[in-house]
Chains A and B, each alone.
Chain A
Amino acid sequence: MTLSKNILVAAIGLMFIPFTACKKLLDQAPINSAYAEVFWKNQQDAEQGAAGAYALVRKALTSNTEYNQNMSHFAYGSLAAFEFQDYDQYDVASLVKGGDGFNSADFIGSYLEKYQDWTPYYKVITQANIMLHFIPQIPDGQFTSAPAPTRNRYLGEAHFLRAFAYFYMVRLWGDVPLIMSYDPDPAHAQNIPRVSEKIVLDSVINDLKAAVTLLPWDLASVNDKAVRATKGAAYGLLAHAYMWRNFLNKGANTADLTNAIAAIDAVEQSGKYILLPATDYHKVFHGKSAEGVFEINMQAQYSEQQIGMGFYYSTLKRPYLDKESKLDAPNQDLINSIYEEEDLRLKYFFSSLDASNQFDVTICKFAGLNGENIVRNQQSAEGSVDANMIIMRYADLLLLRAEAYADLGNTGAALKDLNFVRARANASTLLAEDYGDKKVLQEEVLLERTRELYAEGQRWYDLVRTGFLTNPDLNGFLTFPQDRYDAEGWKWPVARALFTSNNVLTQNKFWLGKVR
């Protein structure tokens, strides 16, 4: 009897196990990944989240078509801008040589669908929104460095990157959907329509103004120079944004020009940036130099360089890299017409300029004239390029200020900036009496930006902003039709894939009916 009684007790005991073990059994959280409820709790989370945001920017700027070249930033900014005569790759060749009835900048060429898709930029924006929502909630005690400035820095970076993503999209597509706050329930999110580019640009400027107040001039770690946002980067982007807004308003509001000039003045007066001597051009492109204002890290130090693909790899040839293919033919006519003979940039930016085969001409500025930025190791036997993607540098900002001064008619100030940059390259000094005509001065600024920033992914935006896209004399005698420019055909079409399951989206009017 006792035996069975004992067993009965044990059995009833077994029955009650479920009620006590309940909690642990049913509340199982993953340990093989972080998740929203446990992340964003301390400074390390914030630092890694910020690194995640930059990594998303890097992915967006190196997005790919089908041909594994991963170089969208340069495809957008350089290939359609007449910096190349030919590019022997099926998909992006249509940007250089045209097709489908276009002489160049054929944005609906086959296989370019991924470049028409703005999805990667919204990942940056979502990450920035998440950072802006959660980082303020991190308690002071969880910061290992001084809480207030560190927190501000991360918030400033979030504002900067969000502004950067929207600015980038506005220049390519014009109107884009605007999301400025964190969405706690993305699973039930609805499609939102496109918002006017002017409103988006206004929010970009607001974000950058916030970033300017929050970000420091210098960062604690020297290793972070230029590859993480600083006050200088925010001012620089702000200047670019003002200049673009000026373009959208067709010059109606000169306040934008003076604001741009003021932003760059602030950068100059901080004393944090200099122009490196021409012999050190390779250091500028290697990155994290005293001339860099904002760059995307692609250095070999942490194995973050592109191996076997990417713009730098694709445009280099022997002897810089041990590869057979010669994909690009830089625009020799343009190069020969814009540089003076003594201009050091001819020496440091290009090699084999006199080659008979146009494909042998090499843009060697990123690799360094003597291959200073080439690394060879087990992973990359052919060689890979140890150079950052330069988004903004000091020379770029000075020349932008020159453009603003030229637009305002201030010849003296414009020439001062032009000559300062030219002096570094040993080019002759420009004289004020030659530049009485405002148009001529503006053309010179554009040409100087072309000379200095060749193949850095800037020229397309310069040509659109100044309107010189349609001027064959400034483009090596190549043309972009005026009627297409007037009909906003310089904007990219919106990818077809974005229209599936989305009936509030509209296409850019030039491309209506053309996108396949």
Chain B
Amino acid sequence: MQFKKFFIHTGWMGLLAIVLLASCRKEHYLGGSPTNAHTDLSTYDYLKANPLFDTLILLIDKAGLKEMVNGQGTFVAPTDYSIKRFLNTRTTELQKQTNNENIKYTIDSLKVPELRDSLMTYLFDAGIQRAGLSTETTVFKSKVNEQFGFKIIYAQDDVISAGVPLMYMSKIINGVDPSPLPSDFPDTDKDKEYVLQTTGILTKNGVLHVLSNAHTFYWK
């Protein structure tokens, strides 16, 4: 009888404890979906859906390169900001040439053959993905046979102790620049290097990267 009471009492204590322990926890972490590299859209459709590329889409349409963009391989897309900067540079040159302050260089002023070559230099037959790259420059040829170097640079970060692996693309001028750069290396030979602000999107047809907004279209 005593033991029964003892166990009853212990039972109540335990119940009390459990009720207290299992107090309600609010849902504090909303969302939490992992990021998916794959998209069902083709490269062209993906770019068209993003307002950052609407000028690029106009250029692709004008040059008639939609099929090629949707082909297999890699497309490193410049953003609207890069194209805008390019048009501004051309405008300044044109104004100096013609001595006319009001003349502007717009998309319409671009000639289609030149535009085709300009855009095709951003297209690569090979699939350029992060896994195949290292801290040494790997050279790829674009569809117009120009050489570009891709590499990974680890940026220092307070949170990620190993450094953040950023992907860089550079237009190779007169051979790959030696690293470390000697102090008397001529400026004209230096490769033009830009970081890729978005990397590794796997579209229905191929791979898509996006160049930094600081880049000027057609590597000016």
Contact = CB atoms under 8 A, between A and B. Distances in A.
A and B touch in the complex (CB under 8 A): yes
Interface of A: 318-319
B144 to A, nearest CB: 31
**Contact-residue bracket for chain B:** under 10
Contacts of B183: 318-319
A318 B184 CA distance: 9
Nearest to B181: A318
A319 B183 CA distance: 5
Nearest to A321: B183
Contacts of A318: 183
Contacts of A319: 183-184
Interface in B178-198: 183-184
Report whether over half of chain A's contact residues are helix, strand or loop; otherwise say mixed. Answer: loop
Interface of B: 183-184
A319 B184 CA distance: 7
Nearest to A320: B183
Nearest to B183: A319
A318 B183 CA distance: 6
A318 B182 CA distance: 10
B41 to A, nearest CB: 39
A40 B183 CA distance: 52
Contacts of B184: 319
A284 B183 CA distance: 25
A319 B187 CA distance: 13
Nearest to A319: B183
Nearest to A360: B187
A59 B183 CA distance: 33
A316 to B, nearest CB: 12
The 3 A-B residue pairs with the shortest CB-CB distance in the complex, in nearest-first order: A319-B183, A318-B183, A319-B184
A8 B76 CA distance: 98
3 contacts: A318-B183, A319-B183, A319-B184
A252 B183 CA distance: 55
A308 to B, nearest CB: 16
Nearest to A318: B183
B196 to A, nearest CB: 20
Nearest to B184: A319
B133 to A, nearest CB: 24
Nearest to A355: B187
A143 B183 CA distance: 53
B194 to A, nearest CB: 16
A198 B183 CA distance: 52
Nearest to B182: A319
A183 B183 CA distance: 56
A39 B90 CA distance: 74
